[in-house]
Every structure is written in C-alpha cells, then in structure tokens.
Amino acid sequence: MRRALGGLWPPKLAKRRSKSLFGGPWFEALRPPAMNLRRNPNWEVVERGWVDRASFSTRLEKLTQGLDCNAVQLRQIILLECWLQSRGRSSDATVAAFNGRQPGNSETEWRRQTWTTHSTRAN
C-alpha cells in the first residue's frame, strides 16, 4: 500500500514507520485540559471516591511534561472529569430550560407564570 500510494502522500507521512494513528493528536489534545485540571484541583472523580487524588495529580503532572503516565487510562479519567464538571456548570441552566423558564428566575416566579398560563388556557 505504501508503494501504491507513495506519490500521493506528503513526504513526512510517506517516511513515517509508526503504526500509531492517534497517539500524538490525543496527547496534544489532552495537554490543555490536563493543565486546567492541575490549576483547579476540585476534581469530581476524586470527591466521588473513584480516583486517588495523589495518583491523579502525579499523572496529570507527568502528562503535561510529556512523561509516561498510562495516557490511555488517564485520557478516560480526564474526559470523565471534564464531562462531570460541565454537567455541574450547566445543571442549573439545563433544569431551568427543561422546566420552561429562564435561569435565575425564582421557583415562586416560575409557579406564578405557570399558573397564569394554565389559568388563561382553561378559560
């Protein structure tokens, strides 16, 4: 296949001998979230008891320095942590949207709006 497509590939790709397809891009994509997680160590995965704080901290440090850190497993933990944090930030807005009101409206105001809407429809 290399010989058949040799003239079509960029020289850098044609010379590459690695079978790894996504290792480099995954590693580079994980560095920014890992650095953010190191700066803000309020980790959901630790608070829930799923991951050891010291181990996670050490592995994040190694990842940002380009050292061996079992990146395949760490990638899953980082993705889970980012997802958990995003759920926490958006949960109030999501619940409010699901209930048909704007975030920040009090429950009393929402009930008043709902009651007025339903009372008007009943008449």
Pick from 12-16, 61-65, 68-72: least confident: 12-16
Whether the CB-CB separation of 55 and 46 falls below 8 Å is answered with: no
Contact 41, 57 (CB under 8 A): yes
- Across residues 36-61, what is the average pLDDT? 94
pLDDT-derived band at 77 (thresholds 50, 70, 90) equals very high
Average of per-residue pLDDT values in the chain:
75
What distance in Å separates the CA atoms of residue 67 and residue 70, rounded to the nearest whole number?
Answer: 9
Cβ-Cβ contacts under 8 Å for 103 (sequence gap 6 or more): 92, 93, 96, 97
Give the model's confidence band at 11: pLDDT under 50 very low, under 70 low, under 90 confident, else very high.
confident
- pLDDT for 66 beyond 60: yes
Look at 69 and 58; give whichever has higher pLDDT.
58
Question: In this predicted model, what pLDDT tens digit does every residue of 17-28 receive, in sequence order?
Answer: 665 555 677 788
